[in-house]
Amino acid sequence: MADIVSIVSTAHKSNVLPARRRTGSFRFGNTKFTLTDARKAQIKNVVTDPATGATYLDTAVATLDA
């Protein structure tokens, strides 16, 4: 079984999310966070258009500033 680490949301400090150390990723709803490098993460979110029902994958990169 993979080791579990905790990721704390800066917006809601009481919201602790489990993350797998082996894969470096965790899911929260339709969003997947992947730790790609020191101080960097890739964020993928499935978005549904309410008018058409079509879905698409929104991808972004986050970098922690010192």
Tokens 């602790």 belong to which residue? 16
The 8 Å CB, 24+ separation contacts for 10-18 are none
Q: What was the pLDDT predicted at 23?
A: 74
Low pLDDT (below 70) residues in the chain: 1-22
* Global pTM exceeds 0.95: no
pLDDT of residue 52: 96
